[in-house]
Amino acid sequence: MADLVRRRLKLVVGVTALAELVVFVLVAAWIGAGWTVLATLATSALGALLLARQGSRALTDLRERARSRRGAGTELGNAGLVAAGGLLMVLPGFLGDVVGLLCLMPGTRGLVRRALGALVLSRLPAGMRGPVHVRSTRTPGVGERRAPSGEPLVIDGEVLRDAQGRPV
């Protein structure tokens, strides 16, 4: 299993590097090699600037959530996307710059988060895609306990395993 993941990762990195090289050569043929190098340096500087600005904003949001003792799921996701986007912007390459810019900008970060969530969710087996919430009502039976109001006693809960012990 780990070998398959390693091979896929190598393939993705190789194809991405090849695509970046092709785009770099095409841009150099279009605007010239000197301007292409300057554009690459400019996008790296822009990435460093955006990373500093958006990174400090994401960390401030995380601190505020921790101080108020509220869940920080979205803020943690934002901090991770800002870090990944900053890395992609600082590394040379125009395709990585576009993806990094999408991760760094607050308006498009939610789109990236939803796309990544959908991708991860589609890769999970059906049994691991989240809890199943079941609402039920019970009819009174013989010897069934009742609440003080006379209603049948119902305990809310989640179904975690079926009758055979398999995850639901």
User: In this structure, what DSSP letter does residue 132 have?
Assistant: E
- The mean pLDDT value for 134-156 works out to 62
For residue 113, what are the domain limits? 8-129
Q: Could you tell me if residue 44 is inside a domain?
A: yes
Q: Could you tell me if residue 3 is inside a domain?
A: no
- The mean pLDDT value for 33-39 works out to 92
Q: At what angle do helices 94-104 and 106-123 cross, to 10 degrees?
A: 100
Q: What is the pLDDT of residue 96?
A: 92
Q: Could you tell me if residue 72 is inside a domain?
A: yes
Q: Could you tell me if residue 152 is inside a domain?
A: no
Q: Could you tell me if residue 15 is inside a domain?
A: yes
Q: How many domains does the chain have?
A: 1
Q: What is the pLDDT of residue 94?
A: 92
Give the global pTM: 0.65
Mean of per-residue pLDDT scores for the chain: 81
Q: What is the pLDDT of residues 43-90, one digit of tens each?
A: 989 888 888 888 888 888 878 887 887 776 777 888 888 889 988 988
Measure the CA–CA gap between 73 and 81, rounded to whole angstroms. 12
Q: Could you tell me if residue 149 is inside a domain?
A: no
Which residues are CB-neighbours of 84 under 8 A, at least 6 positions away?
Answer: 100, 103
Q: Could you tell me if residue 35 is inside a domain?
A: yes
What is residue 158's three-state secondary structure? strand
Q: Could you tell me if residue 96 is inside a domain?
A: yes
